[in-house]
Structures are given as C-alpha cells and as structure tokens.
Chain A
C-alpha cells in the first residue's frame, strides 16, 4: 500500500551509518542450537518486560486532540434557529449509525449525510432535505428488501426526532454479508 508517513525513513534515514553496508554483508550463518536457545530466552525476556500497557491517560490525551480537530463535514442549519444552531453532517451520521446499531442484522460501515440540491420551489436552506448514503454489511439470510425498509424508516425518524431535519433520500449499499452464527 502507499503509506504517506515518511515512506523512506526506515533503514535509509539520517541515523548513524552502519559500520558495514546493511545488505552487503556475507550471508548469515545459523547459530548453533544452544546459542539460538539463549537468544530465544533473551528475546522472550525482552518481550515480557515490554509487554505492558501504556498509562491510562494516553488515549484520552489523543482524543482531546482529535476532538479539537474533528471534521464536522457540512454544517447544517437546524430548523427554526434562524441560522444560529448548526450541526455537522458527521454528527448526524454518527447519530444515524448509533441508532442503526440497534438493529441486529445490519452493520453500518460508512454513513454520509449531505444536502440534496434544492428544488426550484424550496424556499431556503432550512427547507432543503438531506440525502443519506449508507454502506453496510447484512446478516446472511436476511430479507434485504424488508431490512432496507426498516433502515430507511429508522434513518428518517432518527434525523427528524434528533435534529428536526427532513431526509428524503436514503441510499443503501450492501457491500458485504456476515454469518451471524460465527459472530461476524
């Protein structure tokens, strides 16, 4: 994969140059069994002393930064707020996903919320309904058509109840099937 995090820094970095070229040394010779066993014991010991949890504050500290840098997505004006109460589309998506997590036979993987292009007879930004796109996995054996109806109703009702916003289009992409008996 193409990973963007300093792709050339390992083994070709600015650290002290090795005394011999790394990949040009003679072919390695397997150590004798007793030496290999000693190395294995020392390795196990190193693994044991370093197999430990970081402090309990590590993840909270990271999340503090994450929350400061949230990607709220498109800001949506809530009805009746005269533009003074906004909600990010990512927050709406998270709420939808949380609600759909109550359904047994579907696992939402991605949820995107955006405003649909306004029609000519729609008055202002508050009247523009939302389009929701979901990608999901469903349990093997599920009646997909029936489930999709439940999903759509759930989405519409959740967004209306929590935010007062209308949803008039729910696109559902079933991209995987999981076997419930296996737990996945």
Chain B
C-alpha cells in the first residue's frame, strides 16, 4: 500500500501553491487516461460498494441490494414458502444490513454476511408462526402452478414430486434443513455455510449428509 499524503500535509491551502492549479476554474473533466472506465457503480465489486456505502453512499448500498435481491429472495422463499413472507423477511433483513453496515469488517464476503442475516430473519419468521407451521402449512408452499412446464402428466409428476420434497424438508430439523438448502439450492460452499450458520465445517458436512439421507428416503418412490 502506498500512502501518498506527505506532500499534502505541508500545504496549508490551495493558494499556498503546490498541488492546486488556480487556473482550473470549472468542474474538472475526466482527464485520467485512456483505460476503460470501471467506476460506474454497477461495475464495482461488492467490496468497493460496501466501502462506499459505509462512507454513507446510499446509491452504493442500493446497487448492492439490487445485485443480491434475487438470491436472497430465493433463499428466504425456500425457507418460508410464501412469497409475501419472503419479501417481508428480505426487506427487514436489508434494512438491518444498512443499520449494521458500519459494523461489517469485511472478514467474510458481503454476500455471506447477507445470507446470514436473511437466514436468521427467515427462521425467526418461521418461529413466529404457529407451532405446526412449515413449508406446507395452510397457505402452502410456492405455487407450483405458476411455473409448471410440459404436458399434464409431466406437470402432475412435477407437482407431486415437489410436494413430496417440500413435505420432507418441512419434517427435517431446522438445522439440517438450513444447511441442505444453502448447499443444494444456493450452491454455497461448506466453508461459507459454516460461516453463515456459525458452526464448524465438519458439522455442516454431517448435517448435509444426514439431510440428504432423510430426503432420499422420502424420494425413493420417485426412482
């Protein structure tokens, strides 16, 4: 890292000479060179956007949200089943992320941090529901009819298979379900899941393996 400040600290003001050119009177033009520009917000990395947002730049934070909203919504939707609940959870989580952004130190990826907040918010919502609430509660899981493809027989098979899986997921202990979903649906690494859930990586592997075994038992009739 180069700290290039020494020259400035001896300068007491623009008119004291040195780096300020008094001939420049208008707003500065882009005179920095010929390389491709990569400073538009959408081109910045999460890390760069986080640092800007931590400086109070709300547009940088908005760019982060738009980048991750689909993934976070999917995660919440798979835990909660109802799109409206998932949206509420994601909204609460994003606001919480803004409030807690000054505490974010960048030791893990921003997305990992978001996954953790989203997962916790979604689980809290599940716990607020009636004790028997699950992915197949009164309002049902994600409406399969909205996205079915193929002919009637194929649709019926898809619908039944999906219902069976969702029911099996609902019967899993929460800790197994979360690890399995993060691995198989969100494609998170074992290491990242350990970070999100806050448990050792070997425990993550064990939970996913156990979840897989239990789910496979339920899905055996669909072989």
Q: List A residues at the B interface (Cβ < 8 Å).
A: 1-16, 18-19, 22-23, 25, 27-32, 34-39, 41-43, 45-55, 58-59, 61-63, 65-67, 69-73, 88-91, 93-94, 97, 99-112, 129, 135, 137, 139, 142, 144-145, 147-150, 152-154, 156-158, 161, 166-175, 178, 180, 183-184
Contacts and interface: CB of A to CB of B under 8 A. Distances in A.
* Range of interface residues on B (Cβ < 8 Å): 35 or more
Contacts, number: 324
B219 A39 contact: yes
Interface of A is mostly: mixed
Given A13-B123, A184-B38, A105 B33 contact: yes
Nearest to B169: A46
B199 A11 contact: yes
Given A9-B120, A16-B131, A107-B38, A1 B69 contact: no
Q: Is the interface of B mostly helix, strand, loop or mixed?
A: helix
A16 B206 CA distance: 20
A28 B210 contact: yes
A73 B58 CA distance: 13
B112 to A, nearest CB: 8
17 contacts: A5-B100, A25-B210, A31-B217, A35-B216, A39-B216, A65-B98, A94-B55, A94-B59, A100-B39, A105-B32, A106-B32, A107-B38, A109-B48, A152-B19, A156-B20, A168-B11, A168-B13
A137 B51 CA distance: 12
A94 B196 CA distance: 31
B14 interface: yes
Nearest to A151: B32
Contact of A54 (B70, B161, B209, B212): B70
A50 B80 CA distance: 11
Contacts of B12: 168
Contact of B4 (A29, A104, A110, A173): A173
Given A13-B123, A28-B209, 20 more contacts: A10-B174, A27-B209, A41-B161, A41-B222, A47-B184, A59-B65, A63-B62, A70-B56, A71-B56, A88-B56, A101-B37, A106-B39, A107-B44, A108-B39, A110-B55, A137-B48, A153-B21, A168-B16, A173-B1, A184-B38
